[in-house]
Amino acid sequence: MQTDIDQLLRHILTDVLGLKAGQADGFTIETGLFGHLPELDSMAVAGLLTEMEDRLDIMIDDDEIDGELLETYGSLLAFAEAKRAAA
Amino acid sequence: MAGEYALAFDQARARRLLIVPALFDEANRMRRLTVEVMRRLDGAGIDSVLPDLPGCNESLQPLAAQTPQGWRRAMAAAAQHFRATHVLGIRGGALLTPPGLPGWHYAPAKGASILRQLIRARILAAREAGRDESQDTLLAAGSMEGLELSGFRLGPEFLRAFQTLTPQPGASEVGQDMIGGGGLWLRAEPDEDRRQADALAAVLAIGMRA
């Protein structure tokens, strides 16, 4: 069962990583992101976070961004859901 | 503003489009789409020109000496030189389009958001290297002595002026929903999309037919 935030996040990753439609549906909470995908450099991560802010209507403080947050799809999703709940 | 290069499809036709490119790292990611749109317009009987901004690409000017006002003047001069009848600003290019020309802004971005993202990329890279930096301290230091962001050396005057810049008035906004697919400026690596080029060229060609 995907939440709206889950779907939006998969959309954003599809755009950033240039995935084919449906490909991001295969992401699980264990799917590795930063460190596993060489194209996800600091510029791409900055773009990803800014896009999350725009589309999820949240603000992300730079202090909140660390390696763990971006380690897996699950950790990024949990962060986005917590942010959205607090917004 | 003499001495800058431009990519031009120019056969002295009546309908002539000036394209103000996306800025900084986004310029690379949007270049292919931009030129693909120009090829389509050429086929539709429309001339177009894509000038370098002073300090970018093949320019002989140092980037660190540029200002947003200087870029606006350069784009106005390019419009005049090329006798443009219309203008398209892409992403941050929307901040620089000459306001007197009818035209479009494709997915326009504010100066502050472009800057915020560039600074965030720098903070992330610094953190990986074990250095702690923040938006506020970087901007404060940058406003005094300039700042290097993603390899772009920006002067203090540029940084001060750029963060308050908003898209120029008067243009019609072309949103990504009109183009379809995901915005190519978001891509981690430069890519192309034939259908997006078709869609954007169609919006422009239909708009310039009148």
Instruction: Indicate whether A6 pLDDT > 70.
Output: yes
- For CATH 3.40.50, list the domain ranges present in chain B: 6-110+167-209
**Sequence-ordered alpha helix ranges (H) in B44-175:** 68-82, 111-128, 135-145, 156-162
Query: A42–B116: do the CB atoms touch at under 8 Å?
Result: no
- pTM for the full model? 0.92
**pLDDT bucket at B210, cuts 50 / 70 / 90:** low
B161 close to B152: Cβ distance less than 8 angstroms: no
- Tens of pLDDT, residue by residue over A40-74, are 888 889 999 999 998 899 999 988 888 788 899 99
Query: A42–B124: do the CB atoms touch at under 8 Å?
Result: yes
Give backbone dihedrals phi and psi of B67, rounded to 5 degrees, phi first. -135, 155
Nearest alpha carbon to residue B108 among B184, B189, B172, B12: B172
- Tens of pLDDT, residue by residue over B31-71, are 999 999 999 999 999 999 999 999 999 999 999 999 999 99
B147-149 and B152-154 as β-strands: parallel, antiparallel, unpaired? antiparallel
Output the average pLDDT for chain A: 89
Per-residue pLDDT averaged across B91-116, rounded?
Answer: 96
Per-residue pLDDT averaged across B26-32, rounded?
Answer: 96
Q: What domains lie within chain A, and their CATH numbers?
A: 4-86 (1.10.1200.10)
CA distances from B59 to B5, B37, B49, B101 (A): 7, 23, 16, 25
Architecture of the structural domain at B6-110+167-209: 3-Layer(aba) Sandwich (3.40)
Give contacts of B125 with chain A, Cβ < 8 Å.
42
Selecting from A15, A37, A45 the residue whose C-beta is nearest the C-beta of B124 gives A45
SS3 B149: strand
Query: A51–B186: do the CB atoms touch at under 8 Å?
Result: yes
Selecting from B123, B127, B187 the residue whose C-beta is nearest the C-beta of A16 gives B187
Instruction: Indicate whether B2 pLDDT > 70.
Output: no
B112 in reach of chain A (CB within 8 A): no
**pLDDT bucket at B113, cuts 50 / 70 / 90:** very high
Instruction: Indicate whether B125 pLDDT > 60.
Output: yes
Selecting from B118, B150, B189 the residue whose C-beta is nearest the C-beta of A39 gives B189
Query: A47–B128: do the CB atoms touch at under 8 Å?
Result: no
- Taking the CA of residue A26 and the nearest CA in chain B, the distance in Å comes to 19
